[in-house]
């Protein structure tokens, strides 16, 4: 590449994905996979306001400098790429309790900032020492890659920041896997064999017990043990939880972008319009009899 078109990248993470040192047998879990898919569905799909077809994410200032930096080589960052990045962050949090992103600066030949990339990374081993993160990564061919990253370029996410312990979802996935393997036994306690009503009652009970803390009932729209108003309450709390998760993730990105903006002279944060701000009042109207379940369901 000639000097006129030369660009300089600050990237320090590896291009390779980590390959485990020890091969682990994956536990296939129907309900565990369902939970992961539902939690990591793109936020712009599940939290978009009804009949709102505008871009879900936006920059909170009229100046386009930050937007141009984020989309310098791809005009779809806010429309597509950010959703995928956030979903991957959340998947990492559910699996490992933490997630990391490197903020990469792109400069032209005159050392002028022309772009920003946000690259999620994961290593086999990484250690924080001073202002550096030292990492070890095993490639799929068995070769080892080592390196270091300046912590000032790293955005760190922790599961406890969104209200759960580091291992909460690991334990939940194990419980759901056990439930998958035992679910037929739940209905076989009758000498007459399989009884659908017995199965459905125990199925509803187990899902309610396992999923109530994360507001998830296994994609069911009814439950033997709770009434319709409570099901609506769970749905409302589920949406509020996911919006809180999104707000927490974006706050970490914005904190880093603001710091970089102070150095390079741009303003702005990534934001979105809240869908759940009136949900609490909506449920109060239901409890007071001012709205019925069908009306509330239509508004969420």
pLDDT at 27 over 70: no
Q: Which of 51-60, 103-112, 117-126, 175-184 has the lowest mean pLDDT?
A: 175-184
* pLDDT computed for residue 3 by the predictor: 52
Q: Which of 2-6, 90-94, 145-149, 197-201 has the lowest mean pLDDT?
A: 2-6
- 201/82 Cα distance (integer angstroms): 41
- 86/43 Cα distance (integer angstroms): 8
Query: Pairing relation of β-strands 154-158 and 270-272?
Result: unpaired
pLDDT digits (tens, 9 = 90+) for 213-224: 999 988 888 888
Q: What contacts 2, CB < 8 A, 6 or more positions away?
A: none
Q: How confident is the model at residue 186 (pLDDT cuts 50, 70, 90)?
A: low
pLDDT at 48 over 70: yes
* pLDDT computed for residue 203 by the predictor: 82
What is the sign, positive or negative, of the torsion defined by CA atoms of 286, 289, 290, 291? positive
Share of the chain above pLDDT 70, in %: 91
Contact present, 268 and 63 (Cβ < 8 Å): yes
* pLDDT computed for residue 10 by the predictor: 95
* pLDDT computed for residue 292 by the predictor: 92
Average pLDDT, integer, range 145-153: 95
Helix axes 82-96, 228-264, angle to 10 degrees: 110
User: What is the full DSSP assignment across the chain?
Assistant: --GGG-EEE---S-SSPP--SS-------HHHHHHHHHHTS-HHHHSPPTT--S-SEEESSS--HHHHHHTSS-TTIIIIIHHHHHHHHHHHHHHHSEEEEEEEEEEETT--EEEEEEEEE--SEEEEETTEEEEEEE-TTS-EEEEEEEGGGEEEEEGGGGTS-TTHHHHHHHHHHHHHHHTTGGG--STT---HHHHHHHHHHHHHHHHGGGT--TT-S--TTS-HHHHHHHHHHHHHHHHHHHHHHHHHHHHHHHHHHHHHT----EEE--SSTTHHHHHHHHHTTSS-HHHHHHH-
- Annotated domain spans of the chain: 3-164+243-272, 168-239+279-299
Average pLDDT, integer, range 123-129: 91
* pLDDT computed for residue 192 by the predictor: 60
* pLDDT computed for residue 25 by the predictor: 61
Share of the chain above pLDDT 90, in %: 66
pLDDT at 116 over 50: yes
* pLDDT computed for residue 223 by the predictor: 87
Average pLDDT, integer, range 118-138: 93
pTM listed for this prediction: 0.90
Taking residue 65's Cβ as centre, other Cβ atoms within 10 Å add up to 16
pLDDT digits (tens, 9 = 90+) for 64-100: 999 999 999 888 899 999 999 999 999 999 999 999 9
pLDDT digits (tens, 9 = 90+) for 226-266: 999 999 999 999 999 999 999 999 999 999 999 999 999 99
């Amino acid at each position: 590449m000639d000097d006129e078109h030369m660009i300089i990248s600050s990237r320090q993470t590896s291009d390779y994905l980590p390959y485990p040192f020890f091969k682990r047998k994956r536990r296939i879990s129907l309900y565990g996979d369902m939970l992961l898919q539902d939690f990591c569905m793109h936020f712009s799909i599940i939290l978009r306001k009804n009949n709102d077809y505008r871009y879900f994410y936006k920059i909170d200032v009229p100046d386009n400098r930050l937007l141009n930096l984020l989309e310098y080589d791809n005009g779809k960052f806010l429309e597509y790429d950010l959703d995928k990045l956030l979903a991957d962050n959340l998947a990492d949090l559910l699996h490992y309790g933490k997630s990391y992103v490197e903020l990469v600066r792109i400069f032209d030949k005159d050392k002028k900032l022309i772009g920003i990339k946000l690259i999620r990374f994961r290593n086999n081993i990484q250690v924080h020492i001073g202002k550096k993160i030292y990492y070890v990564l095993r490639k799929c061919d068995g070769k080892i890659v080592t390196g270091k990253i300046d912590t000032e370029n790293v955005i760190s996410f922790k599961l406890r920041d969104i209200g759960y312990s580091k291992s909460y979802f690991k334990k939940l996935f194990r419980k759901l896997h056990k439930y998958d393997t035992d679910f037929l036994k739940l209905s076989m306690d009758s000498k007459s064999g399989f009884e659908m009503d017995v199965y459905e009652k125990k199925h509803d009970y187990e899902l309610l017990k396992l999923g109530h803390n994360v507001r998830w009932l296994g994609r069911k729209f009814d439950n033997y043990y709770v009434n319709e108003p409570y099901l609506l309450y769970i749905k409302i709390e589920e949406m509020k939880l996911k919006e809180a998760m999104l707000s927490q993730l974006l706050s970490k990105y914005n904190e880093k972008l603001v710091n970089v903006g102070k150095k390079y002279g741009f303003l702005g944060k990534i934001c979105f319009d809240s869908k759940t701000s009136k949900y609490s009042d909506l449920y109060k109207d239901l409890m007071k009899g001012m709205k019925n379940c069908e009306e509330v369901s239509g508004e969420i």
